[in-house]
Amino acid sequence: MNKKTKALLALLDGQPVIPVLKISDVAHAVPLARALARGGLPAIEITLRTGHALEAIRRAAAEVPEAIVGAGTILNPKQFEEAEKAGAKFIVSPGITPALLAESAGSEVPLLPGAITPGEIMAARDAGLDFLKFFPAEQAGGASFLKALASPIADVIFCPTGGVSAKNAMDYLRLPNVACVGGSWVAPDNMVNEGRWGEIEALAREASTLGKPA
């Protein structure tokens, strides 16, 4: 296990679910991060899918010290650099490119890149990456596909994201090569837009116990 994988796993600290967030109103960033952290999910991924994403990362990182704010949907070195400057503690990408690998190599911020095929996973492994995002998880074969990879590529672990929900999260978390899952169900759009932070906290608290002894 490489140094950056160890650093990222230490940040996640056994958290079974990483909330994957698309923030349309930057005013939601701080109360949302607080609600999720109170519920036991301090590590969050704010995706760069809206024009407010970088400011949302900046505010959550600065104003919610108990949160561990990551940036998702990073597609190129410029976005990596911008997210790092905004305060992101980890970077998530849907795939791997030579340019992203080069940017990551020059940064202390760990990269969690996506890979779905055996070839992509092996290429990532050759590049020294042994903790990968499996995305889009359900569409790429789901838990049964990842289970099949556990023996031939036993030294790579995954965070499946994409189609993961409260109903199927444990299918992934039971696997020996899965460290956590990413999902948006803990912060539904309607609850976020209506400021229902108590309900989101409750969903986070429930998710934070997945895979852990009762």
Catalytic pick among 103, 133, 138, 201: 133
Q: Does residue 2 or residue 168 have the better pLDDT?
A: 168
How far apart, in Å, do the first and last CA atoms of the chain sit?
29
Residue of 4, 45, 84, 103 with catalytic role: 45
Residue 90 CA to residue 10 CA, distance in Å, equals: 11
Per-residue pLDDT averaged across 38-51, rounded? 97
Where b means 16+ CB within 10 Å and e means fewer, 75-89 reads eebebbbbbbebebb
What CA–CA distance (Å, rounded) separates 161 from 113? Answer: 11
pLDDT band at 61 (very low <50, low <70, confident <90, very high): very high
Residue of 61, 32, 57, 33 whose CA lies nearest to 47? 57
pLDDT tier, 3 (very low <50, low <70, confident <90, very high otherwise) = confident
> By mean pLDDT, which of 10-14, 66-70, 132-136 is the weakest?
10-14
Distance CA 182, CA 196 (A): 21
The structure's pTM equals 0.96
Tell which wins on pLDDT, 211 or 178. Answer: 178
Q: Is 147 a catalytic residue?
A: no
Contact 41, 52 (CB under 8 A): no
List pLDDT tens digits, range 175-197. Answer: 999 999 999 999 999 999 999 99
Q: What is the pLDDT of residue 200?
A: 98
Check residue 181 and give its pLDDT: 98
Distance CA 29, CA 53 (A): 9
Check residue 2 and give its pLDDT. Answer: 85
Average pLDDT over all residues of the chain: 96
With bands split at pLDDT 50, 70 and 90, how would you rate the model's confidence at 214?
low
Identify the structural domains of the chain with CATH numbers, from first to last: 3-202 (3.20.20.70)
Please indicate whether residue 45 is annotated as part of the active site.
Answer: yes
Q: Average pLDDT, stretch 86-104?
A: 96
